[in-house]
Structure 1
């Protein structure tokens, strides 16, 4: 006769307030409970003021070996990735009875699922910031051979941050408990077993084809989350799992533009491709999706370039385990530097403006030589000309000036302008015509204002005309089109005014944070006539 299964000690001796684990962590309040475990707030006894979150497995039956392996793998994966947009695991151990527990950083904030329940549709800027940071975390995981397999709003946590007086949010990706290590054989998941949350499963995952799960499976769920942030509802919903799976495998979600008309067309296209039914029709990786979705690529430490960033969204990832809060915001989006980790590109606009100044230093040091060479060429032409003319003056006088000019940077000849020595060799026959070249120098001054391609300038001018005519939908169309080429401060200035004219306070304030300081007085005055106080 088979003996009844005895309850685990984790069930018979639940953790209570005040209990100390391994002489280090004192249990406090319960932060959350799930079907397989609970998360507790605890304090570190040897580090005063240090709070941590402790995740402990429990259950009515003895833990299976597979569950225990997955739990440990979650700790190892998060620790191995060490990414600022992935929750940090500080320790892993077992209780005296063998029940495993994991010590994680304590996050203050709220889950994306709760944010969506409160706000439904998120402002476009928030969607871009959250997406870029999620993309940074997923890119780091995928490059390490890890597929999350359970992406959903409940596993995305938003932590308020502040850096330099700028308030933002740091995204933290949670729960790698059912992650798949592409190159591992520790746990073999059988096909036809559903692993993940049905609402955000890719078709291959929903049909139980677990051997076909790869990074593109995460990309499908990622697309579903971005869709929900914009539309205010998930792309798929049903009364039961069977109906939900049928929709995911065979049906297309409602058109995004019907639920969120203000979504830029390029974002609609990107989300649609990420949610393609066949994996081969999706983007090859998360980086390609983020580039199409936001117009700016994710960057890694090995790819840092001084390229113009479209937005300071809280971004992507710094390389230190706990970098300062800043973005891409992004991106911000932001994060930083481990090799292979996505990092928020530095604000490179001002830096590119200073680059042309560097080559000038060596050319100044060589200008006396240029003057001498230029004079030599000019004198040679003059000698040839006067040699043929019967009324010419004797050429030896010109020959005397040649060595004098080679020693002295000052030009004795009034016909050569000292202000622009480098151009002397370009026009040897008419040295008197050189002064007009000085007038071409002011061209670079256009970079003092916001530089942008002509097509962007034309789109923004058309948006301004449409706005003056109170045609806000046409103005939005031109602004969004300009942002697909380059995101500029002027575009956010116009966006803010469009939303003010539409009496859309939430979106007006969301765009206001991106309006340049020089534009703010005019935008604030414009919006005040629509009773919107910025």
Structure 2
């Protein structure tokens, strides 16, 4: 793989539809353009049906070595993090003339910036869902020593998903092109150089103090995004960059409650602290911000749930490793009894199982008397049953096990208690069971069938009968239909998701299929088609045919 060591000119011929890169990727349409490059939709030639997004640097001026290194580092960072809420980078290579390009997963959905332009203010539950997923991605990046430095709604992408019949969204964090590696020495950024988008810069970043940029800088931009999702406008705005920077450094944004009066007080307080002017006044990390904002902590693979800590497990750390202090109250006590004043912590050397075996065990009681008693009881039971079956034999009045012997006068011994099994009073006439116990119980009166579940005696609903659903669900589906008629698919999806949180209905899947048909999303349309009721299918099939989608 060629690594540029000196300024490289942009590609001599522009990428056009049908051009094949490295005998693998066939270029399709343009997905977006920027000042430094463009993103194309491409087709993988060796994997039929697989589509990817290819980001290529371009420009009239020569590409400096620093720009090329930053571009390559973006691919390395995204691949290194490997988080489900960070866009996946599949490949990195160069064109024949040395121009670098990056191959990424192709995302279907819309950017958060576009969502905010259409809806302005987002509902609180939707804000929490987006915020928690962004927080999970940022927490993974910060723990890997990566600071994004360019957080903004344009770098947050929303991908529609479905799990268990409920439609949701997965957040994907994009563009780590100017990210800062805390331990990196590949690119030295000078102070007094603005790196990022001014509208979402932290004060230290806006003043060009790049050496002071850390995870708390991302936290400030994160707070600005959450503010905008609730208020419907960015916290800072100006006619030029100088005015914008002055506001960020010296002024406070408009009070959030004046723009979103229904915002809970704890949410306002959390956003205000995340956007503090001084880094030391902000939250120490993203996880603390999410906990204060939403009321529940982020769950990561590295965290251990409390119930898992209390289970006795084999230690995976070396024997000499110090034990965390929060594990002292969860020491396994299998086979041990607590002793006052005893140190229950394991010794500094040797596995923990050895220290358990070394503890004294309580003396075990012999079990043979119990076994003898059980055996004799079985023999007595067989004997009694034998006498009962013989009508000509009168059973003894009592069967005595281990009868006490007459003690000698000189050596008085207390005899053990005798086990006596007495026969029933009337042997020849066994006791008949009570009639009410042998008769079958009366069957319970059948319950009235519900309107949602069919029964064997229930008559089938006539074709075209409206589906039963709560009024709130019906209102959401009516609103979704109106939004779909107005070609506002994002609004339609929002109402459908909200209806499915209350009740999953066949009509919701009928609307979902039509939404995806209008978006020309064949894969998702066919996925929803399997759950569309038979009564709705002719209408849905006719609707999708106008978008060249055959179901």
Q: TM-score range by the shorter chain?
A: 0.5 to 0.7
For the 8 Å contact 2:380–2:421, the answer to whether it is kept is no
Structure 1 residue 254 displacement after superposition: 0.6
For the 8 Å contact 1:464–1:494, the answer to whether it is kept is yes
Structure 1 residue 10 displacement after superposition: 3.2
Structure 1 counterpart SS, 2:46: coil
Summarize deviations over 1:186-234 as a string: whole Å, max 9, x none.
1000000000000000000000000000000000000000000000000
Structure 1 counterpart SS, 2:223: helix
Are the structure 2 counterparts of residues 362 and 246 from structure 1 closer, same or farther at C-alpha, using a change threshold of 3 Å?
Answer: farther
Residue 167 (structure 2) pairs with residue 167 (structure 1): yes
Q: Higher relative contact order by CA 8 Å / sep ≥ 6: 1 or 2?
A: 1
Higher helix share: 1
Structure 1 residue 12 displacement after superposition: 3.7
Are the structure 2 counterparts of residues 498 and 73 from structure 1 closer, same or farther at C-alpha, using a change threshold of 3 Å?
Answer: closer
Structure 1 residue 284 displacement after superposition: 0.4
Q: Which residue of 2 aligns with 1:418?
A: none
Structure 1 residue 300 displacement after superposition: 1.7
Q: Which moved more, 1:311-320 or 1:241-250?
A: 311-320
For the 8 Å contact 1:306–1:352, the answer to whether it is kept is no
Q: Which residue of 2 aligns with 1:413?
A: 434
Are the structure 2 counterparts of residues 196 and 459 from structure 1 closer, same or farther at C-alpha, using a change threshold of 3 Å?
Answer: closer
Are the structure 2 counterparts of residues 30 and 305 from structure 1 closer, same or farther at C-alpha, using a change threshold of 3 Å?
Answer: same
For the 8 Å contact 1:315–1:344, the answer to whether it is kept is no
Summarize deviations over 1:254-285 as a string: whole Å, max 9, x none.
11111111111111111000000000000000
Provide the C-alpha distance between the structure 2 equivalents of 1:67 and 1:472, rounded to a whole number of angstroms.
38
Provide the C-alpha distance between the structure 1 equivalents of 2:337 and 2:27, rounded to a whole number of angstroms.
32
For the 8 Å contact 1:29–1:41, the answer to whether it is kept is yes
For the 8 Å contact 2:83–2:140, the answer to whether it is kept is yes
Q: Which residue of 1 aligns with 2:372?
A: 371
**What TM-score comes out, normalization by structure 2 length?**
0.58
Summarize deviations over 1:492-519 as a string: whole Å, max 9, x none.
9999999999999999999999999999
- The 5 A counterparts of 1:71-90 are 71-90=71-90
Q: Which residue of 2 aligns with 1:511?
A: 528
Are the structure 2 counterparts of residues 448 and 100 from structure 1 closer, same or farther at C-alpha, using a change threshold of 3 Å?
Answer: same
Residue 515 (structure 2) pairs with residue 494 (structure 1): no
Provide the C-alpha distance between the structure 1 equivalents of 2:195 and 2:344, rounded to a whole number of angstroms.
31
Are the structure 2 counterparts of residues 90 and 395 from structure 1 closer, same or farther at C-alpha, using a change threshold of 3 Å?
Answer: closer
Provide the C-alpha distance between the structure 2 equivalents of 1:396 and 1:335, rounded to a whole number of angstroms.
35
For the 8 Å contact 1:142–1:215, the answer to whether it is kept is yes
Are the structure 2 counterparts of residues 386 and 48 from structure 1 closer, same or farther at C-alpha, using a change threshold of 3 Å?
Answer: closer
Q: Which residue of 2 aligns with 1:458?
A: 475
Are the structure 2 counterparts of residues 41 and 114 from structure 1 closer, same or farther at C-alpha, using a change threshold of 3 Å?
Answer: same
Provide the C-alpha distance between the structure 1 equivalents of 2:365 and 2:542, rounded to a whole number of angstroms.
48
Provide the C-alpha distance between the structure 1 equivalents of 2:35 and 2:343, rounded to a whole number of angstroms.
34
Structure 1 residue 38 displacement after superposition: 0.2
Query: Which consecutive residues of structure 1, in runs of 5 or more, have no partner in the other structure?
Result: 416-421
Structure 1 residue 366 displacement after superposition: 14
Are the structure 2 counterparts of residues 146 and 321 from structure 1 closer, same or farther at C-alpha, using a change threshold of 3 Å?
Answer: farther
Provide the C-alpha distance between the structure 1 equivalents of 2:18 and 2:495, rounded to a whole number of angstroms.
61
Are the structure 2 counterparts of residues 436 and 106 from structure 1 closer, same or farther at C-alpha, using a change threshold of 3 Å?
Answer: closer
For the 8 Å contact 1:301–1:342, the answer to whether it is kept is no
For the 8 Å contact 1:300–1:340, the answer to whether it is kept is no
Are the structure 2 counterparts of residues 149 and 43 from structure 1 closer, same or farther at C-alpha, using a change threshold of 3 Å?
Answer: same
Q: Which residue of 2 aligns with 1:426?
A: 444
Are the structure 2 counterparts of residues 149 and 433 from structure 1 closer, same or farther at C-alpha, using a change threshold of 3 Å?
Answer: closer
For the 8 Å contact 1:492–1:515, the answer to whether it is kept is yes
Provide the C-alpha distance between the structure 2 equivalents of 1:15 and 1:262, rounded to a whole number of angstroms.
50
For the 8 Å contact 2:148–2:179, the answer to whether it is kept is yes
Q: Which moved more, 1:158-167 or 1:337-346?
A: 337-346
Are the structure 2 counterparts of residues 103 and 254 from structure 1 closer, same or farther at C-alpha, using a change threshold of 3 Å?
Answer: same
Structure 1 residue 305 displacement after superposition: 2.2
Structure 1 residue 111 displacement after superposition: 0.2
Higher Rg of the two aligned structures: 2
Are the structure 2 counterparts of residues 257 and 46 from structure 1 closer, same or farther at C-alpha, using a change threshold of 3 Å?
Answer: same
Structure 2 counterpart SS, 1:157: strand
Structure 1 counterpart SS, 2:532: coil
Structure 2 counterpart SS, 1:56: strand
Provide the C-alpha distance between the structure 2 equivalents of 1:87 and 1:295, rounded to a whole number of angstroms.
27
Structure 1 counterpart SS, 2:365: helix
For the 8 Å contact 1:497–1:527, the answer to whether it is kept is yes
Q: Which moved more, 1:494-503 or 1:109-118?
A: 494-503
Provide the C-alpha distance between the structure 1 equivalents of 2:458 and 2:374, rounded to a whole number of angstroms.
23
For the 8 Å contact 2:384–2:423, the answer to whether it is kept is no
For the 8 Å contact 2:309–2:330, the answer to whether it is kept is no
Q: Which moved more, 1:221-230 or 1:424-433?
A: 424-433
Structure 2 counterpart SS, 1:229: helix
Summarize deviations over 1:229-263 as a string: whole Å, max 9, x none.
00000000011100100000000001111111111
Are the structure 2 counterparts of residues 108 and 254 from structure 1 closer, same or farther at C-alpha, using a change threshold of 3 Å?
Answer: same
**What TM-score comes out, normalization by structure 1 length?**
0.59
Query: Which consecutive residues of structure 2, in runs of 5 or more, have no partner in the other structure?
Result: 390-409
For the 8 Å contact 1:123–1:510, the answer to whether it is kept is no
For the 8 Å contact 1:121–1:232, the answer to whether it is kept is yes
